[in-house]
Homo-oligomer: A and B are copies of this chain.
Amino acid sequence: MLTIGKIGAQAGVKVPTIRYYEQIGLLPEAGRSAGNQRLYGRKALERLAFIRHARDLGFTLEAIRDLLSLSDNPEQPCVAADAIARAQLAEVERRLARLTALKAELERMVVQCAGGKIADCRVIEVLGDHSLCSTDHRHPESESSP
């Protein structure tokens, strides 16, 4: 049996994050020691590692919740799991396309600026006027998460 700090270190997840996962029902309530401290076994560690890995791959906690409940029923067909993975792939491809456009725009900005006064700064100028951009990088969506 491992303490919360130990599985945290093993799975690469911070202690408060593990408690958070338990709080939102992603991890089952852990058993407790005589002194009320959480104790985990091998199954809990595997589950936590699964969550961590899926988070690393950009899945939302909601998607992970579904994946976990699927993986708890090994006899079911895996179509649903594959669909979640394909949706995540599509999402990653969307972000990739957007970031590629952003990169081009930012490169143009920094390359075109000759340095000098703010009044002549190409960065400031372009930021103030999208028509100076070379691509249509609009269409706002999550650009921040992973």
Contact A70:B124 (CB < 8 A) given known A89-B110, A93-B103, A99-B95:
yes
**Contact, CB under 8 Å: B81 / A124:** yes
Q: Contact at B117–A103, with CB atoms within 8 Å?
A: no
Contacting pair B118 A71 (CB below 8 A): yes
Q: What would be 11 A-B contacts, judged by CB atoms less than 8 Å apart?
A: A50-B127, A53-B128, A53-B129, A56-B138, A57-B102, A57-B137, A71-B118, A71-B128, A78-B115, A85-B106, A95-B146
Contact A128 B46, beta carbon cutoff 8 Å: yes
- Chain B residues with Cβ under 8 A from A109's Cβ? 85
Copies in the complex: 2
A96 touching B98 by the CB < 8 A rule? no
Question: Is A42 at the interface (CB under 8 A from chain B)?
Answer: no
Q: Is the CB of B113 within 8 A of A82?
A: yes
Name the distance in Å between A3's Cβ and chain B's nearest Cβ.
17
Answer yes or no: A73 CB below 8 A from chain B CBs.
yes
Instruction: State how many angstroms separate the Cβ of A60 from the closest Cβ of chain B.
Output: 8
